[in-house]
Structure 1
Amino acid sequence: MNYNLDHKNPVPLHLQAENLLRAIIKDPQYANGKFLPNEIQLAKQFAISRSTLRQALNKLVYEGLLVRKKGVGTRIAEPAISSKSKNWLSFTQEMTARGVHIKNFELHVTWVTPEDAIADFFDIGTAKKILKLERLRGKLEGPFVYFISYFHPRVGLTGEEDFKRPLYDILEKDYHVTATLSKEEISAKAADKFLAAKLEVEPGSPILCRKRFVYDQGERPIEYNLGYYRADSFVYTVESRRE
């Protein structure tokens, strides 16, 4: 690939560098999240200053096309996993339908006393222990989502279940509880040290937060779910139809 910029061209050098970087991103040799040469090498190849190069890099990092990690380098962002709100499925079922193989990096089951918000949702007392399921999940290359689920005692989960199976498959086939309705709240936040360590990002990095309230056929609450997603690896889309 030709890395030369035209210094006589009226187009600013940082814009030329940006366009060249966009072409590099599409080059098969940099596919699958491979790293770019370091800034010193790139600036030398482009025959521009590092500050001019950094201006172009920053634009593509902002757009989500590049991922930069201090002390590690800059790599091509992998295509983001997408989740739709229409035709709601469990996470495993949805990713399987999209041909994405999901790996469980961590799985923890505990019994806890619920916080006020969770107890209010389930309409139970805060002294009543409920099952808490934590799962760190992602692709083979690394995690991109950390889930925390709480379940109403009525569901009957014991904590001994094989939670590598799809969650709603367990509820329906083993406990005759069908998750029918999901209400969700989407927000963004900066990753604290705990979530940053789980998702392998820098503290303060943007993450997507999804709070999900799940109900059965009788619209009784069965699950209170929190999902924290890497912003550079996940896109949540909403489809609406005007009637």
Structure 2
Amino acid sequence: MVQKLDRKSNIPLHVQAETQLRKLVSSKEYEDGKLLPKEIELAKTLHISRNTLRQAINRLVYEGVLVRKRGYGTIVAPKVVLSNARNWMSFSQEMKAQGLEVCNYELHVSRKQSPPSQVSQFFDLEEGSRILCVERLRGSVDNPFVYFVSYFNPSIGLTGNENFNTPLYELLEKDFGITVETSKEEISAQSASAFIAEKLSINEGAPILVRKRRVYDKSSLPVEYNIGYYRAESFTYAIEFKRE
């Protein structure tokens, strides 16, 4: 249950309210889709104005933690992977930051002799070059919701015998001294192919989000070309702009 706020604290009331709401929605009582108490009741419990409460709620709505439904109220959003454009993270880091446990459902390692043209161009490969490809079906403990296909720069020296069940960028830094720094991304909406639909347990033709990542290290060396196929309802991409 939410607690009364400390008006003597240097922390703004709307930030304190946001903290209390996070605790509330993370409790067992508030599962996906649960309706929050009415704003007037929450404001009275926290001893703040409804405008201050709305500041806190708006922040959680922006982050995808809460969802407003017109004529119904504010509910706890289904758990999704929330990616923030201001500070990119690996999938494992994104899951950890949101308190979700990573589950690996499938792992396939191979060497492709004819990778897609965009991959060859990214790594400036000669025609016929072999390249390491790692495919992983991942998600939460409840269900898989993303299928990743990753290609790696041959100059790194990956053999394919590495433990790809560990966080990828930690593996690259620990075993190969490569620290990734920059990710250039593209996100598009597509229809699921039969192959992807089977992996994600959805109908062929269902909407999915496709996220392409071009990852570079600190010296701008191309490290990874990654394509992620997400169940549409399981991924939110948050972008924040500031007007100059």
1:241 paired to 2:242: yes
Where do 1:186-201 residues align within 5 Å?
186-201=187-202
* Residue of structure 2 equivalent to 1:213: 214
Report if aligned partners of 1:115, 1:126 keep a CA contact under 8 Å in 2. Answer: no
| 3-state DSSP of counterpart to 2:227 | strand
Counterpart CA distance in 2 for 1:124 and 1:199 is: 31
Q: Which amino acid in structure 1 is aligned with residue 87 of structure 2?
A: N
Counterpart CA distance in 1 for 2:216 and 2:30 is: 44
Where do 1:68-217 residues align within 5 Å?
78-113=78-113, 114-217=115-218
Report if aligned partners of 1:116, 1:126 keep a CA contact under 8 Å in 2. Answer: no
Counterpart CA distance in 2 for 1:224 and 1:30 is: 38
Report if aligned partners of 2:185, 2:212 keep a CA contact under 8 Å in 1. Answer: yes
Per-residue Cα deviation, 1:111-143 (whole angstroms, up to 9, x for no partner): 112222211110111311110000000111110
Tell me the C-alpha RMSD between the 2 structures.
2.5
CA drift at 1:30? 11
Where do 1:16-95 residues align within 5 Å?
31=31, 78-95=78-95
CA drift at 1:200? 0.6
* Residue of structure 1 equivalent to 2:42: none
Structure 2 vs 1, CA of residues 194 and 77 (structure 1 numbering), >3 Å: closer, same or farther? farther
CA drift at 1:229? 0.4
CA drift at 1:233? 1.4
Counterpart CA distance in 2 for 1:96 and 1:30 is: 20
Report if aligned partners of 1:77, 1:232 keep a CA contact under 8 Å in 2. Answer: no
Q: Which amino acid in structure 2 is aligned with residue 181 of structure 1?
A: T
Q: Which amino acid in structure 2 is aligned with residue 204 of structure 1?
A: G
1:228 paired to 2:229: yes
Counterpart CA distance in 1 for 2:228 and 2:221 is: 21
| 3-state DSSP of counterpart to 2:94 | helix
Misfit runs of 4+, over 6 Å: none
Report if aligned partners of 2:139, 2:146 keep a CA contact under 8 Å in 1. Answer: yes
- Larger radius of gyration, structure 1 or 2? 1
What TM-score results when the alignment is normalised by the length of structure 1?
A: 0.67
Per-residue Cα deviation, 1:153-201 (whole angstroms, up to 9, x for no partner): 0111111111111100011111011111110011000111111110111
Report if aligned partners of 2:85, 2:239 keep a CA contact under 8 Å in 1. Answer: yes
CA drift at 1:84? 1.3
Number of residue-to-residue matches in the alignment: 178
What TM-score results when the alignment is normalised by the length of structure 2?
A: 0.67
Structure 2 vs 1, CA of residues 174 and 29 (structure 1 numbering), >3 Å: closer, same or farther? closer
Give unmatched runs, 5+ long, in structure 2.
1-27, 34-66, 70-75
Counterpart CA distance in 2 for 1:206 and 1:120 is: 28
Q: Which amino acid in structure 2 is aligned with residue 120 of structure 1?
A: Q
